[in-house]
Structures are given as C-alpha cells and as structure tokens.
Amino acid sequence: MKKEYIFAGFGGQGMLLIGKFLAMACMLDGKHVSWLPSYGPEMRGGTANCSVIVNDDPVASPLVDMADAVVAMNRPSLDKFESHVKPGGLLVINSSLIDRKAERTDINVVYCDANRIAEEAGNPKGANVAILGALLEKSPVCSDEIMEQAIRYELGERKAKFLPGNMKCLELGKADAAKQ
C-alpha cells in the first residue's frame, strides 16, 4: 500500500504540522514514511505545504507530483494543487475560506467547514486537525488511537494541554465528512 498526500495552505494554518501528525501516526503503525516541507521565507502568511508518502516498502523519493489526496486550506492552494490529485483521488477543501467548488469531475471532493468545526469544538486554532479528520474519514490510513499517539508525541509535554481540543476537532472533522 502506497499513498501520497499534499497538505497546502498559508503559513500559520498548521499544514506542516498535520503532515507531521500523519507521518508519525503511520510510522508508529509500522509503515515507511517521508515528510517533505515546502514554505516561503515569511514567518506567517506565506505559502506552506508538505508532501507525505506512506508505504509498506521504503520510500525511494520524498517528492510527490500526483497525490492520492490533497488538502487545500486556502484558495491559492486549491488553485495550485487541484491539478495534482490523481484521477479517482481525493480533494479536501476548507469551505470556510475557499469560495469556489472543485473544477474537476474525475476526483472525489469533500468540503470541510474546518474553521466552523474548530470553533464548535472550542479550539479555534484546530481547523487544521478538523480537516485532517475529514481526510481520514474518506481515506483511512491509521486508527484513531494511533493518530492520538502521534498527536501526543508531536505536541510534546509542553503542548500536551492541547491534545483534548485537537482530538475533538479530529472527531468532528470525521463526523462532518461522513455526512458527505
């Protein structure tokens, strides 16, 4: 099983972090992974995306051109990466911030109101984890328990207090996607 992902947004939206969550979860699950970040020089507000590859075999190259799934957190990311979804693949769009529908008809599309879900969960900075939940509902690659372990690990002791809010966002994101 080989799956390739692109997570894209602007700096500060947590796209690199949820890519790390997914890579760590799959690594804890015994898979081979790669995580390759790409971002502009700005601290916040510039472009930020990452590629994640999950495979049963060692990953030869971390580069992803055509992904099984793309998460687009803002309009410029959708405009840039919609064409990078493999036919039959999955595109997850943050409908809180993106004012257009997908143009392609050969892919599966999920519209996730990630910012609203995060607010509803009482974790307004958790929109990234809500959209990760939507992705995992439609394209499961690990269990919720493994994902919780990965989030706990990546947050570390200093940010452990954010784990319950992130898990709530993950759960609500999955529930929202299940309705589509």
Q: Which CATH number covers residue 146? A: 3.40.920.10
**Structural domain containing residue 115:** 2-178
Beta strand pairing status for 47-55 and 32-39? Answer: antiparallel
23-48, pLDDT tens digit by residue?
Answer: 999 999 999 999 999 987 766 667 89
Domain count, the chain: 1
The pLDDT of residue 46: 74
Determine the pLDDT at residue 42: 61
Nearest to 26 by CA among 141, 135, 120: 141
Low-confidence ranges of the chain (pLDDT < 50): none
- Please report the pLDDT score of residue 47 as a whole number: 80
Q: What is the percent of the chain with per-residue pLDDT over 70, rounded to a whole number?
A: 97
Record the pTM: 0.95
Q: How many CB atoms lie within 10 A of CB 100?
A: 11
Looking at the DSSP bridge assignments, the partners of residue 47 are 10
